C-alpha cells in the first residue's frame, strides 16, 4: 500500500473531510434560509440560487467519489441519446441494490450539469437528516411516508410544483421502494406469484403507483424516462465508508432513453409497462453477471473540474480558521478549551458517521417484509 493510500485510511483525514462537509453544510443551510424572503418576490431566482447552493454541498460527495476514491462510472448508452442528456427534464428509474447507488447517480448528474437541480422521490425519514435532508427541503425533493392514502395529496402537489422549475432536472425513482435484501426479495416474489407476474432475480417487484402518478403529473414537463441499470465489476459491494477510506470501485451504468409519449396513460397499462421494464432490467443484470458488461457502446462523458474546485475551496476556507483556533488553544494551555475542541470534532465525526450509517443496507427499514410493512 502506497503512502497516499495509507493516508486516505487515517482518522485524521476523515475528521478533516467530515468537518468540512458538516460545517460547509450548515453554512449552506443558513444561506438557504436567507433565500426564504426571496421566494414570494422572485420564486424562480430563489430556486436558481438554491440549485447553486445545493450543488456546492452535493458535489462535495461527488468529489469524494471521483477524486478521493478514484471511482469513475462507466456509462453504456446510445450515442444518439447521449447528446440529449442534461438538455431536458427526465424521470430516472434506477435499481436500488447498492449503498452508493445515489452517489454514482450524482456523478452522472454532475457530468451532465444537472446535479444542483436533481431530485428524488424519497422516504420521509431522509428529510430529517441534518444538513443533507434540510438542503433537500429547499430543492423541492418529494418526500413520502410510503402509505399511498396519506401521501397522495402532497405527492401530486409536489410534482405539479415542478412544472415551472427554472432549471433542467432529473427526478429519481427507485420503484422497488426499498433496498434489495434476500428477505424482501423472497416476499416480493411471493407477491409476483400471486399477481401471476414473472419472477425477477436481481430486483424486488416494482411498486407501480408512484411511477404512474409521476409520469401523469410530469407529462409536458419531462421529455423522457431514463431507464438506468447499475452494477459493479468483480461482484464489488461498495460502501460509503469504503469511499471515505479511498477505496476505488468499478461501477457500470447502462442508460436507455424512453420518450415519455411512448408510456401508456392508463394506470393498469402503465403498471404492466413498468413490470415489463423491470423484466428487461433483470435480463440486463443477468447478462451482466455472465459477461461483465451491458449492451451498447461505452461513452465517457467529460469530467468537469467544478466539484473538485468547490471541495478544495471549502476545505481551505474552513481549515484556515480551524488551524488558527487550534494554535491559539495550544498556546493558551487551557485544558478546558482543548477538551471542548476535541469534543466538538468528535461530535462532528460521530454525526457524519451516523449519517453514513443511514446508507448501510444492514440498517434498511423493514418496509416490504410481511409482519411489519414499514
Ligand atoms: C443514474 C441517474 C441518477 C440520477 C439521480 C437523480 C437524482 C438524485 C437525487 C437525489 C438522490 C437522493 C437519493 C436518496 C434515495 C432515496 C430513495 C428512497 O427513499 S426509496 C423509498 C421511497 N420511494 C418509493 O417508495 C418509490 C416506490 N414506491 C411507490 O412508488 C409506491 O407506489 C408508493 C407511491 C410509495 C405507494 O405505495 P403503496 O404501497 O401505498 O401503494 P402501491 O399501490 O404502490 O402498492 C400496493 C400494491 O403493492 C403490492 N405489494 C405488497 N407488497 C409488495 C411487495 N413487497 N413488493 C411489491 N409489491 C407489493 C400490493 O399487493 C398492492 O398491489 P395492488 O395495488 O395490485 O393490490
Ligand atoms: C466531502 C464529502 C464528505 C462526505 C462525508 C459523508 C457524507 C454523508 C452523506 C450522507 C448522505 C446521505 C444520503 C442518504 C441517501 C440514502 C439513500 C438511501 O439509500 O435511502 C434508503 C431508501 O432509499 C430506502 O430505505 P430502506 O427502506 O431501504 O431503509
Instruction: Name the average pLDDT for the chain.
Output: 94
Question: Would the pLDDT of 34 be above 60?
Answer: yes
User: What's the predicted TM-score (pTM) here?
Assistant: 0.94
Kindly report, residue by residue over 227-240, the tens digit of the pLDDT. Answer: 999 999 999 999 99
Q: How far is the CA of 71 from the centre of ligand 1 (A)?
A: 29
Structural domain boundaries, residue 188:
3-311+349-357
- Domain count across the chain: 1
Q: What is the number of the ligand 2 atom nearest to the C-alpha of 355?
A: 10
In a domain, 319, yes or no: no
* Contact (Cβ atoms closer than 8 angstroms) between residue 250 and residue 234: yes
pLDDT at res. 374: 47
Among 62-66, 85-89, 220-224, 367-371, the minimum mean pLDDT is found in 367-371
Q: Which of 73, 72, 74 is nearest to 297 (CA)?
A: 74
pLDDT at res. 370: 77
In a domain, 339, yes or no: no
Cα–Cα distances in angstroms (integers) from residue 56 to residues 26, 28, 309, in the given order: 12, 8, 10
Q: How confident is the model at residue 343 (pLDDT cuts 50, 70, 90)?
A: confident
Question: Would the pLDDT of 69 be above 80?
Answer: yes
Kindly report, residue by residue over 158-175, the tens digit of the pLDDT. Answer: 999 999 999 999 999 999
In a domain, 367, yes or no: no
Q: How far is the CA of 359 from the centre of ligand 2 (A)?
A: 4
Kindly report, residue by residue over 17-30, the tens digit of the pLDDT. Answer: 988 999 999 999 99
Task: Pick from 20, 184, 203, 358 the residue to mutate for probing ligand 2's pocket: most ligand atoms within 8 Å of its CB.
Answer: 358
pLDDT at res. 300: 86
Regarding the beta carbon of 348 and ligand 2, being less than 6 Å apart is answered no
Instruction: Output the nine-digit C-alpha cell for 243.
Output: 469511499
Question: Would the pLDDT of 373 be above 70?
Answer: no
Gyration radius of the chain's alpha carbons: 22
| Nearest-10 Cα torsion for 188, 250, 122, 57 | 170
Regarding the beta carbon of 61 and ligand 2, being less than 6 Å apart is answered yes
Cα–Cα distances in angstroms (integers) from residue 282 to residues 176, 196, 198, in the given order: 13, 17, 11
For 121-144, letters b (16+ CB in 10 Å) and e give bbbeeeeeeebbbbbbebbbbbbb
Kindly report, residue by residue over 41-53, the tens digit of the pLDDT. Answer: 999 999 999 999 9
In a domain, 368, yes or no: no
In a domain, 336, yes or no: no
Domain containing residue 9: CATH number:
3.40.1130
In a domain, 362, yes or no: no
Question: Would the pLDDT of 7 be above 50?
Answer: yes
Report ipTM (2 d.p.): 0.94
Among 26-40, 193-207, 270-284, 313-327, the minimum mean pLDDT is found in 313-327
Q: How confident is the model at residue 273 (pLDDT cuts 50, 70, 90)?
A: very high
Instruction: Tell me how far apart the alpha carbons of residues 16 and 322 are, in angstroms, rounded to a whole number.
Output: 10
pLDDT at res. 371: 52
Q: What is the number of the ligand 1 atom nearest to the C-alpha of 367?
A: 55
Kindly report, residue by residue over 296-322, the tens digit of the pLDDT. Answer: 899 989 889 999 999 999 999 999 998
Share of the chain above pLDDT 90, in %: 83
Q: How far is the CA of 364 from the centre of ligand 1 (A)?
A: 14
CA angle 213, 215, 220 (to 5 degrees): 125
In a domain, 237, yes or no: yes
CA-proximal residue: ligand 1, atom 5 (nearest): 105
Q: Within the chain, where are the H helices?
A: 3-8, 11-34, 43-63, 79-82, 101-111, 132-138, 148-161, 182-194, 209-217, 240-244, 267-291, 306-332, 335-357
Ligand in closest contact with the CA of 116: 1
In a domain, 369, yes or no: no
Q: What is the number of the ligand 1 atom nearest to the C-alpha of 155?
A: 34
Which residues share a beta bridge with 173? 93
Instruction: Tell me how far apart the alpha carbons of residues 248 and 229 are, in angstroms, rounded to a whole number.
Output: 20
Return the biggest CA–CA distance within the chain. Answer: 73
Among 91-100, 302-311, 318-327, 329-338, the minimum mean pLDDT is found in 329-338
Q: How far is the CA of 155 from the centre of ligand 1 (A)?
A: 12
Amino acid at each position: 500500500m502506497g503512502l497516499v493510500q495509507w493516508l486516505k485510511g487515517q482518522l485524521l483525514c476523515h475528521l478533516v473531510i467530515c468537518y468540512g462537509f458538516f460545517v460547509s453544510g450548515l453554512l449552506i443551510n443558513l444561506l438557504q434560509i436567507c433565500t426564504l424572503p426571496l421566494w414570494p418576490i422572485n420564486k424562480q431566482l430563489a430556486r436558481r440560487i438554491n440549485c447553486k447552493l445545493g450543488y456546492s454541498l452535493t458535489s462535495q460527495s461527488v468529489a469524494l467519489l471521483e477524486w478521493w476514491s478514484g471511482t469513475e462510472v462507466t456509462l453504456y448508452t446510445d450515442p444518439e441519446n447521449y447528446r440529449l442528456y442534461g438538455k431536458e427534464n427526465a424521470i430516472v428509474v434506477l435499481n436500488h441494490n447498492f449503498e452508493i447507488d445515489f452517489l454514482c447517480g450524482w456523478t452522472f448528474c454532475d457530468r451532465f450539469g444537472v446535479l444542483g437541480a436533481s431530485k428524488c422521490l424519497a422516504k420521509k425519514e431522509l428529510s430529517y437528516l441534518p444538513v443533507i435532508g434540510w438542503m433537500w427541503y429547499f430543492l423541492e425533493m418529494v418526500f413520502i411516508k410510503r402509505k399511498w392514502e396519506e401521501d397522495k395529496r402532497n405527492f401530486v402537489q409536489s410534482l405539479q410544483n415542478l412544472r415551472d422549475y427554472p432549471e433542467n432536472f432529473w427526478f429519481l425513482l427507485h420503484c422497488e421502494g426499498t433496498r434489495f435484501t434476500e428477505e424482501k426479495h423472497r416476499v416480493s416474489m411471493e407477491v409476483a406469484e400471486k399477481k401471476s407476474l414473472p419472477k425477477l432475480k436481481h430486483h424486488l417487484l416494482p411498486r407501480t403507483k408512484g411511477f404512474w402518478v409521476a409520469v401523469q403529473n410530469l407529462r409536458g414537463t419531462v421529455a423522457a424516462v431514463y431507464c438506468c441499470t447499475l452494477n459493479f465489476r468483480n461482484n464489488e459491494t461498495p460502501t460509503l465508508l469504503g469511499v471515505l477510506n479511498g477505496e476505488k470501485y468499478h461501477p457500470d451504468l447502462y442508460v436507455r432513453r424512453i420518450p415519455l409519449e411512448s408510456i401508456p396513460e392508463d394506470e393498469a397499462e402503465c403498471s404492466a409497462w413498468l413490470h415489463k421494464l423491470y423484466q428487461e432490467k433483470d435480463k440486463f443484470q443477468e447478462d451482466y453477471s455472465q459477461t461483465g458488461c451491458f449492451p451498447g457502446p461505452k461513452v465517457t462523458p467529460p469530467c468537469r473540474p467544478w466539484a473538485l474546485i468547490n471541495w478544495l475551496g471549502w476545505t481551505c476556507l474552513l481549515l484556515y480558521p480551524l488551524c488558527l483556533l487550534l494554535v491559539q488553544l495550544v498556546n493558551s494551555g487551557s485544558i478546558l478549551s482543548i477538551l471542548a475542541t476535541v469534543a466538538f470534532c468528535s461530535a462532528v465525526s460521530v454525526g457524519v458517521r451516523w449519517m453514513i450509517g443511514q446508507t448501510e443496507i444492514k440498517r434498511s427499514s423493514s418496509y416490504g417484509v410481511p409482519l411489519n410493512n414499514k
